[in-house]
Amino acid sequence: MDSYKLLITGGIPLTGETYVSGGKNTSVAVIPAALLSDDPCTIDNLPDIEDVRVLVDILRALGADVSFDGAARRMRIDPRPVSSYQVPYKQSQRMRASYYLIGALLGRCSHAEVGYPGGCAIGNRPMDQHLKAFRALGAEVEDKGGMIYAHGKMMGGDVFFDKITVGGTINAMLAAAKAEGTTILFNAAKEPHIVDLANFLNSMGAKVKGAGTDTIRITGQKHLHGSNYTVIPDQIETGTLMIAAAATRGDVTIHGCIPTHMEALTAKLLEMGVQVTEMDDAIRVRTVRGHRAVNIKTQEYPGFPTDLQQPMSALLTRANGDSIVIETIFESRFKHLMEMRRMGARVQILDQTAIIEGVTELYGAPVTATDLRAGAALVVAGLMAKGTTEIYEPGFIERGYEHIEEKLRALGAVISRAPVGDHDAR
């Protein structure tokens, strides 16, 4: 139980200029990739968030020399002193992306012993496709006692993913970058952070082609050298800020983003009647009229991102009419809707489909975040609601949004922290 809760007094339109931080899901893939280098790497624009700080601990425990300046958002990783290939469960369970250490350690030293990952409870989230990829590249893999044991010299091979998986694609790229021979990944994920990882690997001398398409070809290299790299901005934070601006009927410009990464959300907001203006590296979101109800179906990139389904469903509670949300990626990603019922939201959930009735008002209430993006959805709902919302377990939000309270406060939000005591509602 977190020792503090967030307090949000809603009903205030967000206005002004803000900026987006470096991408969480790209950073947690690029940082482990530095283990593949023969010499130090410097990575810039990293968000100062819990998931990045957990990776610093894990790399240091492996023996790497890591310095991270959160304020400067710069990390220097010298993998040369790495002497271990073991990541115990108490470390790996602190985040989802710890499983990238399997691919990175297999690529670095043909051996990895890594505990099961943690991460958001949004579904079953098996790793069968990751293990399939490692085996296709020559690893012996055993899944025993909550640990993954993998070893074997990485040899190029073909991997056909039975389903599109971001994590599986990234792990296969990490294991294949230094393999002997060529690897082809078929039915690969196409997210922006897959392309960012490929660009980082290529800046180290790797030969990765086709990232961003469903077929990625990797010609293994014996040695990879150090690199100075800057990760891309966070697609999901950009989208969350866009949704918050629309939800509060405000006028916000988000700087440092990549508008082409936002196309699925932008199209939906325009369909709702929200004004979205794209600039080279900024997006302005304004509302000048009521919002039409729309239907959302989450898809792999470039479809509507599952990570934005939750904040978007908060916005839809105030649309004119009923909206239908279909979550096709994860089995259990509607918990935030059950919490928003406490705020007056009217939703029906039928398996992977939610029907969200547009209501005239949400009211502040005590609610609990159950995962990272559910927390983001509750923040958006709190910004919309009349009165004050208390959000318990806000630590989830910290995992993926850098300085989100300060950013929202700078846009006019009334948001603060308060200690959680025995008298509290949750």
Interface residues with ligand EPZ (CB under 6 A)? 24-25, 28, 96-97, 120, 123-130, 163, 165-168, 189, 236, 306-307, 329-330, 372-373, 400
CA distance 196 to 199: 5
Q: CA-based Rg of the chain, rounded to a whole angstrom? A: 21
Question: SS3 for 134?
Answer: helix
- In contact, 174 and 107? CB cutoff 8 Å: yes
Of 131 and 356, which CB lies nearer to ligand EPZ in the complex structure? 131
CA distance 219 to 354: 44
CA distance 354 to 342: 16
- In contact, 95 and 28? CB cutoff 8 Å: yes
Question: SS3 for 88?
Answer: coil
Question: Smallest distance from the beta carbon of 94 to ligand EPZ, in angstroms?
Answer: 12
Question: Smallest distance from the beta carbon of 385 to ligand EPZ, in angstroms?
Answer: 23
CA distance 346 to 358: 8
- The enclosing H or E element of 59 equals helix 50-62
- In contact, 221 and 183? CB cutoff 8 Å: no
- Triad 174, 175, 179: Cα angle to 5°: 120
Question: Smallest distance from the beta carbon of 67 to ligand EPZ, in angstroms?
Answer: 23
Question: Smallest distance from the beta carbon of 74 to ligand EPZ, in angstroms?
Answer: 21
CA distance 345 to 418: 25
Tokens read off for 317: 């509670």
CA distance 341 to 331: 20
Of 120 and 204, which CB lies nearer to ligand EPZ in the complex structure? 120
Question: Smallest distance from the beta carbon of 76 to ligand EPZ, in angstroms?
Answer: 22
Of 236 and 254, which CB lies nearer to ligand EPZ in the complex structure? 236
Of 12 and 314, which CB lies nearer to ligand EPZ in the complex structure? 314
Report CA-CA distances (Å) from 397 to 68, 239, 240, 250, 300.
21, 15, 12, 22, 23
Of 165 and 266, which CB lies nearer to ligand EPZ in the complex structure? 165
Of 236 and 319, which CB lies nearer to ligand EPZ in the complex structure? 236
Cite the active site residues: 120
CA distance 46 to 13: 29
Question: Smallest distance from the beta carbon of 236 to ligand EPZ, in angstroms?
Answer: 6
